Structure 1
Amino acid sequence: MKGWKKTGRGDRQMIVGDFDPQEAAVLRGLLREVRQMLEGRAAEAPDDELAEITGIRLGPTKRPADRIVARLLPDFTFEDPDLAAGLRSLHEPQLIAAKLEVNQHMLDTLPPDGGRVELRPEAADEWLTGLNDIRLALGTALDVSEDMPDELPPDDPRAEHMGVYQWLTFVQDSLVHARMAVREKR
């Protein structure tokens, strides 16, 4: 990928990016991994007869045990543990559903063998959300921090995966800049 570009004018503005087959495979693989984590968390929701009657689904009250999932689904507040548990139970199912919808949109618009992705501005916003989730998940798995060097020693087991993290950062940053160009020209 050489970066996202804005094309067109007015109502025909699009954001376009080209992915080679390897890039598409890596991105699709990461999307599937995040999807599996979110679906696993959704399966932890309690069965509730009232939810079946009202259609209001409740989620777990406890923070996810897996640190990557916990990073994707942070507490809604840190001030009161009971309030945090209640808010999580009420809102986590919708948050997971929204993240899964974005994830599926990315899978649907990213050609499996690589190729061109053309996004309307609203779809670019979804891609930004999905890329952020992937970067959060990978960054948590790699213990990425602000003081971490750009290149890790070759014997560090994370070194191989840091290139993927940095590439995702580039893809996201490039999309942010292309998306901002669309907003400026409206």
Structure 2
Amino acid sequence: MRTWSRKNSLGGVKIRSEMDAREASVLRSLVSSVLSLLQDRAASAPQDDLAELTGLRTGNSTAPTDATLARLLPDFLKPDAAGGEEATPGANVNGALRSLHEPEIIDAKLAAGSVILQTVPAEGGKVVLTPEQADAWLAGLNDVRLALGSTLQIDADTPDELDPDDPRAPHLDVYHWLTWMQDSLVQVLVP
């Protein structure tokens, strides 16, 4: 992939890059996997009679048990460090907030990932984005990085390179590529 560039044209600002077929295939596969996880989570939301009457959508009130989904859809409030969440007066606050806001959060993540799938050429080639599409790419790339980082158990102590015998080594290269792609896009979007 080439670094992103910014071009002013008669039709407005365009953000451009180019991907080869392998890069496009990897990116499309990763984005599709994240979207599938999110769609499954949305489909698992309980049906609420009040929501059906009022038209307000509600989501799951419990945090995901899957580590990748938990990273994509974290709790709104952290538990009280001294005694755990049960010790706080608003022990059910996370569940209520999650139930109210998770559908919208998932919708936004699905929309961002869909923009990537719609704008990256399936066989590789030029990628041309509007600034709004570039913003969606940033959000979608971030979600893919969070999901991959969670799967690979990347944390602050993870070295930049792993032993070649480590099964995570090739995937860490993909994680670094996504990081570079996201950083390059941020650099172009910031005037």
Deviation at 1:9, TM superposition (A): 5.7
> Matched residues in 1 for 2:54 and 2:129: separation?
36
Q: Which has the higher helix share?
A: 1
Q: Please name the residue that 2:127 is paired with.
A: 117
Q: Are 2:40 and 1:51 equivalent residues in the alignment?
A: no
Question: How many residues get paired?
Answer: 181
Aligned ranges for residues 60-75 of structure 1 at < 5 Å?
60-75=60-75
Question: Tell me, which stretches of 5 or more residues in structure 2 are unaligned?
Answer: 80-89
Q: Deviations over 1:67-126 (max 9, x none)?
A: 100000011112543101100000001100111111111111111111111111121111
What is the root-mean-square deviation of aligned Cα atoms in Å?
1.3
Question: Tell me, which stretches of 5 or more residues in structure 1 are unaligned?
Answer: none
Q: Please name the residue that 1:95 is paired with.
A: 105
Q: Please name the residue that 1:29 is paired with.
A: 29
Q: Deviations over 1:10-57 (max 9, x none)?
A: 872211010110000000000110011001111110111221222111
Return structure 1 stretches of 4+ with deviation > 3 angstroms.
none
Q: Please name the residue that 2:8 is paired with.
A: 8
Q: 1:145 corresponds to which letter in structure 2?
A: D
1:116 counterpart SS class: strand
Q: Please name the residue that 1:77 is paired with.
A: 77
Relative to the length of structure 2, the TM-score reads 0.91
Relative to the length of structure 1, the TM-score reads 0.93
Q: Please name the residue that 1:139 is paired with.
A: 149
- Sequence identity percentage: 50
Counterparts in 2 of 1:164 and 1:111: CA distance versus 1, 3 Å: same
Deviation at 1:166, TM superposition (A): 0.6
> Matched residues in 2 for 1:81 and 1:63: separation?
13
